Every structure is written in structure tokens, then in C-alpha cells.
Amino acid sequence: MTCILQLGPLTDRFNRALAAEHEVLRLWEADADAMLDQHGNGVDIVVTSARFGCTASLIDRLPNLRAIISFGVGYDAIDVAAARARQIAVSNTPDVLNECVADLAFGMLIDCARQMSRADRFVRAGEWPSGGLPLASRVSGKRLGIVGLGRIGEAVAKRASGFDMQVRYHNRRPVEGSVHGYERDLVELARWSDFLVLTCPGGESTRNLIDMAVLEALGPKGMLINVARGSVVDEPALVQALLDGRLGGAALDVYAHEPHVPDALMALPNVVLLPHIGSATEETRLAMEELLWANLRTFLERGEVLTAV
């Protein structure tokens, strides 16, 4: 029988179904060291998520590991190089979440520009009868910069066309055949943009890509929308730029040290704070689960995964 090491809980439905079909070791419910000492040799497959990842040191403790099957598209928390070195297959769940993550990014953009969350807090606090809010920023017709025009970035760009926005983007290289303008220099893209949306991967190659120079170029009227990873932004620089008014606003779904949100951000009215919910709809989570199952079953049948990282 295949032995699966599950690193953390996914949906209740998935946890139950996996345990019904396979011998499952639940690492998060156990003394992890003791479990790995006792059962590490017998583990064939790791089931994990973008959140729980899979480190090189864990891979080292699983000498017979053959596959890492992950829930989520981002794999910055999985040591893919360590897996590759041992020819361990790694899968993620791309594409099925594009629309919902892009919906959220666009919702965050509108919220930040039009102060929707702020206005909601204003009404709930009973402040409407005695005061008003400052005027907001228009969304339609503005300039949208996208950092990472991939699957999710394209879905964000598609939404922008309905708002008559101009779109430019920055990737490491231009997307062949793209109708959107490419900007090799990220600071230049930020200078041009009213809104800068981040949809690139996390990990070392993008760490602190959004630094003070980029934030200052985006400027006191510019807004940053991050649905990528907290690691992509120099978070202390972001906090400082917002406190100093060097950046106009920010809408964040991801943070450097989740679930920690810097205290300074909590007090700022021009910041929208979400708890990493990009793909968190019933429909998308079900589709992600189904793709995870398809990867697992295909690996068990044929020794390969459908959506390899």
C-alpha cells in the first residue's frame, strides 16, 4: 500500500477522502520528528500545499520519496531543486485558479482606489452623519502595470480592458505575441503606472523586487496591489513609503511573514488588508482539489504527474 505523508490540512472533504483511500501520515497532528524517525523510510508521496511547502531537509528524511503533490500554483516553499536532484516528481495546480485570483486582484484595485473598505468602516463607525470621506481615485481609463504577465497576470489584463485601461507589463522577457507593451525596466513601469499589480512567483528570483526605488517611482498617487507573494516586496520599505506618503496606497493579500501583518499597516486608511484569499472560493478550491487528485491518481497509475512544476 502506498504511504502518503500529508504535511498540513487541506479541505475537510479532501482530508477525509485521502485518509479513506490511502495510508496517510498526518504530520501536523504528530510529533513530527518522532513520526519521521519511525516512518520516514516508508513514505512514497508527500501531499502538501503552497502554504506548507516541502523543504530540502524534509526531503532528506524521506529516502524513498517519489512525488510531491501540491495544492496551489505557487511552489516557492517547495525545494524543487532538491526534489529534482533525486528525480522526485513535483506537481502544482495551475490555471484552475486564474480567474478567481484575477477577480480578487481587480477587486482589491477598485477597493484601494475607491476606498470601499474605508467607506464601509466609516459607515459602521457611525461617522456618516457628522462627516465625509476624502475624494477617491478614478479607476476607468487609468494605467495598469503588471509585474508577471503569466496565467494570472493575463487574466488581470483581460479585466482591465473592460475598464478601458492601458496595460503595460514587466517580465524577465517579453511575452511573444502579447498585445500589451513590454517594459524591461521595472522602475520605468512603476513611473508610468497608476496601479502596479504583482502576479509574479515568489522565491529567491523575485525577492524584494519591489524596493523603495520602485515604490517611489509609483509615487504618492500610485497604488500597489499584491496577490503574488509577500517576499516580492521589501515590506519595511512599503510600510515606510506609505507612512511618508511617498506611495498613495496599497492592497495586499500576501505578506512577508504570514499571518503577521505589520502593525503600522493596520492603522493606515489607504491600505486594504486581506488574509491570503486569492483562490479561496468554493468553485476554485474544488477545482484545485480535483486537479490534485488527478495528479495523485495519474502518478500512482503511470509514475508521472499531469501538471509538473
Q: Which residues are catalytic?
A: 229, 258, 276
- Report d(CA 14, CA 88) in Å as an integer: 23
Q: Other CB atoms closer than 10 Å to residue 213's CB: what's the count?
A: 13
Q: Which residues contact 46 (CB under 8 A, 6 or more apart)?
A: 4, 5, 6, 7, 54, 58, 62, 65, 67, 68, 69
Smallest gap from Cβ 102 to ligand NDP, in A, equals: 9
All 3 cell numbers of residue 255?
505578506
- Report d(CA 283, CA 142) in Å as an integer: 31
Residues engaged in binding ligand NDP (CB under 6 A): 73-74, 94, 97, 101, 147-153, 170-173, 199-202, 205-206, 227-229, 253-254, 276, 278-279
Q: Is 296 left (phi over 0), alpha (psi -120 to 50) or beta?
A: alpha
Smallest gap from Cβ 277 to ligand NDP, in A, equals: 6
Q: For ligand NDP, which residue has the nearest CB?
A: 150
Residue nearer to ligand NDP on the CB measure, 6 or 226? 226
C-alpha distances in angstroms, 156 versus 71, 122, 144, 188?
A: 22, 29, 10, 20
Does an H or E element contain 70, and which? Answer: strand 67-71
Using alpha carbons, select from 98, 64, 92 the residue that is nearest to residue 76: 92
Q: Which residues contact 218 (CB under 8 A, 6 or more apart)?
A: 190, 191, 193, 196, 224, 247, 248
Residue nearer to ligand NDP on the CB measure, 62 or 250? 250
